[in-house]
Structure 1
């Protein structure tokens, strides 16, 4: 009897250990996501990593280099934003890590990337069966490093996250630097608050932002059939992005996060929402500046159904905001709410910037009517 009890206890303990071993990845940096755990010198040829499993917690293929901060390529110094080490993905190079996740959960991946010597650099980020091409040829920071985000819905409890450079340059080492990779579970994009018809209108749900990176996270173009790292919202553009910013490093009109429209009229932030044709609605939002030195005549163009509104904001680059409203009558059962920066703007250091929007709300007018009550259902 005692032996049987001990066997059961041992089995339960082993199951507990196994359960902990396969527990879902937590929000924050991935294991060795900063690449500070080095490959063994015997697995290197200069800066090139020669073994597929040389970098702890990662698998690699193709031309992958392991670089230190301040390392030079010709006359160019290669900086590292987090810690002392980073990797460079040369021709057809891939770095990947296996993750334990929760099935049917939405996740956002954040990673740092910097251009080097290739002309039209881009990255293919994937979690099978989903993938996305992220353009990284435009630089939005003075350091040369930008943080990008990408989202997926977990189809399985174990997945491979891959970052791949599909480029082929004459110099096989040319390719983007990668550093600081993190993950974050997202709320379902279908979640809607009872007092706001828009999903995630306060932008409080979004990609992971590293505490030591003051430049926010870029949300790339998102097709309608892809998942967004900014739940509820799409980014429409060929190559440009919007920037997700936090109150720890920026002036945010309300709450902890907002969106900076950094690409002028080349990019639009939008959301589609169900409406009742002929019913009046009111769209309201805050416009301001991120307190990042983006000064001048900022403006946001807002659209809903056939209505449009241009809202001007005089910025000193030190923070602040004002409130705007757009009233319209829906002309279809689905209305597209769109925001664009009225123009291109640059900070004194030459980096792109723009107006901040936050606290976006869409409500039916005369909400006490039976039609409005049916809409909220």
Structure 2
């Protein structure tokens, strides 16, 4: 017993020898900004002390916003808790986090546009050896009806100690103009490998960004033009002009497992993956098409592309959940084949928010013979 206690003590000392344990999953310390400035550190709603918000360092025109606060005739809503921060012209918030060097991570946070149509945010992590490697999140399109969207962004940790920066690069006539940010979270990602049962990585979408548990925004957006090397959806590229939405079984109807992907912007919302293939060999690409039980109704079509083959899968949604299986057989013509999915039509709920079909359980295997491939 004494020997076991000594071993546990050594393990504990090793784990804490560099200070705080590495962060894995969840809301960052004061990531919901519920601990805020003292009255002496503010001028109206503006925070004038760069270290007034615990765990964060502020630069530029930052406002500390209380839920229900008005901006002219507009009511500013905070999705979770009582407070959020607003990033004005060229403003940024920065926090330090202890992570595990060499692991992949994804950042998740809520954001709302408050002024201009062209608002955007830059997300970056340092240290970073790759030049110009930051996430640009355009907010011309708001995907929810309540004014708040949840975004994610992925990165590779190059140090055990990193700095996360969320920056508003916009320059407006009103320096206070800028997006609201709330509920900043982090999750370690463990990209799945290809197996004999599935040549695709993360075909079931179980590995992905942190899903905020208590907000009513619904789902996590994975922004457009995301390559697979640092994707918050490991193995997949977002090969489109608009985002796709990552869904969890706690809030939506998911055909299999706990996660799925919703194609929310027609042909402007697509995911893709490149897989090694043998020219002349026949493969079977199977997947599930359905709806997320989120009141997204109507005639839907998911298009699947592989090599020179295309399969259009119709699905009539009543918006109450359900799914169907589909299989695309194709003959590879090159050593690398791009697998791609998109939605043919734009879909919209009655509240005006974008939605679409979901896909899940994507599998690819080699087959000996396919008569019509």
TM-score, normalised by the number of residues in structure 1: 0.91
- Which range moves more in the overlay, 221-230 or 170-179? 221-230
Distance 2:191 2:293 in 1: 31
1:279 aligned partner: 281
In structure 1, C-alpha distance between the alignment counterparts of 2:15 and 2:324, rounded to whole Å:
53
The alpha carbon displacement at 1:291 in A equals 0.4
In the aligned structure 1, how far is the partner of 2:281 from the partner of 2:15? 57
Partners of 1:257 and 1:357 lie apart in 2 by: 10
Counterpart pick for 2:37 among 36, 39, 45: 39
5 Å matches for 1:243-262? 243-262=245-264
Q: What's the counterpart of residue 158 of structure 1?
A: 161
Find the residue that maps to 1:265 and give its secondary structure: helix
Aligned partners of 2:90 and 2:171 also within 8 Å:
yes
Cα distance between partner residues in 1 of 2:223 and 2:344: 19
Which of 208, 211, 221 is the matching residue for 2:210?
A: 208
CA 1:351–1:188 in structure 2 vs 1: closer, same or farther (change >3 Å)? same
Q: Give the ranges of 4+ consecutive aligned residues of structure 1 lying more than 4 Å apart after TM superposition.
A: 12-18
Q: Partner of 2:107 in structure 1? A: 109
- Counterparts of 2:337 and 2:11 in 1: how far apart (Å)? 55
CA contact (8 A) 2:228 2:234 kept: no
What are the ranges of 5 or more consecutive residues in structure 1 without an aligned counterpart? 1-11, 368-377
Whether 2:147 is the aligned partner of 1:149: answer no
Distance (Å, rounded) in 1 between the aligned partners of 2:208 and 2:279 = 31
**How much does 1:136 deviate?**
1.7
Distance in 2 separating the partners of 1:20 and 1:122: 36
Query: CA 1:280 to 1:13, structure 2 compared with 1: closer, same or farther past 3 Å?
Result: closer
Aligned to 1:179: 182
Of the candidates 346, 349, 364, which is equivalent to residue 362 of structure 1?
Answer: 364
1:374 maps to: none
Note closer, same or farther for the CA distance 1:199–1:14 as it changes in structure 2 (3 Å cut).
closer
Contact 1:63 1:92 in 2 (8 A): yes
Q: 1:222, 1:228 within 8 Å by CA — same for their partners in 2?
A: no
State how far apart, in whole Å, the 1-side matches of 2:280 and 2:359 are.
28
In the alignment, what sits opposite 1:372?
Answer: none
Aligned with residue 123 of structure 1, among 121, 124, 127: 121
Query: Structure 1 residues 166, 196: CA separation in 2 closer, same or farther (over 3 Å shift)?
Result: same
1:219 pairs, out of 218, 222, 225, with 222
SS of alignment partner, residue 17 of structure 2: helix
How big is each residue's C-alpha offset from its partner over 1:197-233, in whole Å with a ceiling of 9 and x where there is no partner?
0000000000000111341000012343751000000
- 2:3 alignment partner in structure 1: none
Listed one character per residue, the Cα deviations across residues 85-118 of structure 1 (whole Å, up to 9, x for unaligned) are 0000000000010011101100000000000012
Write the distance in 2 (CA, Å) between the matches of 1:13 and 1:361: 40
Q: CA deviation at 1:267?
A: 2.2
The alignment's C-alpha RMSD in Å is 1.8
Structure 2: distance between partners of 1:198 and 1:16: 37
CA distance in 1, matches of 2:20, 2:51: 20
Matched, 1:53 2:55: no
The number of residues matched between the two structures is 355
Q: 1:19 deviation in Å?
A: 2.4
Shift of 1:18: 5.1
Hey, what does 1:317 align to over in structure 2? 319
Per the normalisation by structure 2, the TM-score is: 0.92
Quick one: distance in 1 between partners of 2:287 and 2:13?
A: 51
